[in-house]
Amino acid sequence: MMQRAPLSRRGLLTRTVALGGLVAVPGLLTACSRTEPGSGSVAGDGDLLAKLRDQGFVRVGFAGEAPYGYKDGNELAGEAPTLHREIFKALGIKELRPTLTDFKSLIPGLMADRFDVVSAGMAITPERCAKVIFSEPEFVSPTALMVRKGNPAQLSDLASCAGKDVTVGVLTAAVEAGYARAAGVGDGRVKSLSKQQDGLDALVAGRIDAFALTGISLRWLARTNEGADVEVLDPFLPEVDGRKQYSPGGAVFRKSATTLRDAFNGELKKITGDTGRYVDLIGKYGFTANEVPPATLRTVDLCKA
């Protein structure tokens, strides 16, 4: 399994999502030449749902990053493909036909008609919304702390770290450094690390007392380092300037594929509205009831600059 997937795939290294506030990502992807000029759409997308039903398969682009979308042997696995397989089956489309590509190439590949949907847990940002359309959120990514087993410092969240003489590890340039500062953790007690694995290794070695990251990623890190003397605490929503911080991800479609997107959203709502079913489907990838997106968190709001 993959242990060191970079978090930049979800935009967490350069962006913050807050309910009621957004921070922009500089510089995004350019469109490819096989799209209609100025639209990022492919002719015939208005009939795409009917076409997919007739042919019996949907082409999905993924980036090979666990636990969001990756190959497990010959099987397409992860959060997004698992949810999408369930949704497309309900829409009368039985098969996902995957195309592996670099994360940065997913939107250009979609716009160039290399695939019909992106199944990669992509973060919903205003800049991406200018080029493509997103489903409603499939998940949110609350922050969590990884600590040594037994939680010797008795930590719970970043605010608890601020009141104790502990060192918190974060990924270099990741949003968790800002979350720690907002919670009152001094800069001298925040240690930057290059990779997820570096955070676990530093924790085990005693160089840090806690490693802050999304709960999803920390649970996957613990799973792929079975036997490590660590545990992942319950996730929490950090606050910056009084606003709770979310990192929602969703499926991605060409702008003209609104019929397909709307049908997808209808089936997605049935899953995210049923916590038991949601966890049954993707719990094995580290997703819990804490990752179920609140009904009030809407893509139309997340897409506003």
Q: Which two structure tokens, joined as six digits, stand for 9?
A: 């795939």
pLDDT (tens, 9 = 90+) of the chain, 305 residues, equals 333 333 343 444 334 445 444 333 333 333 322 334 334 445 457 689 999 999 999 999 999 888 999 999 989 999 999 999 999 999 999 999 999 999 889 999 999 999 999 999 998 888 899 999 999 999 999 999 999 999 999 999 999 999 898 999 999 877 899 999 999 999 999 999 999 999 999 999 999 999 999 999 999 999 999 999 999 999 999 998 888 888 899 999 999 999 999 999 999 999 999 999 999 999 999 999 999 999 999 999 999 86
**Residue of 109, 141, 113, 175 whose CA lies nearest to 250:** 141
Q: CB–CB of 305/24 below 8 Å?
A: yes
State pTM to two decimals. Answer: 0.76
For the chain, the domains span 7-140+248-302, 143-236
182 sits in which H/E element: helix 175-182
Q: CB–CB of 108/102 below 8 Å?
A: no
Looking at domain 7-140+248-302, does it have CATH number 3.40.190.10? yes
Task: Evaluate whether 7-140+248-302 and 143-236 have a shared fold.
Answer: yes
**Matching residue, tokens 């702390």:** 145
CATH code given to domain 143-236: 3.40.190.10
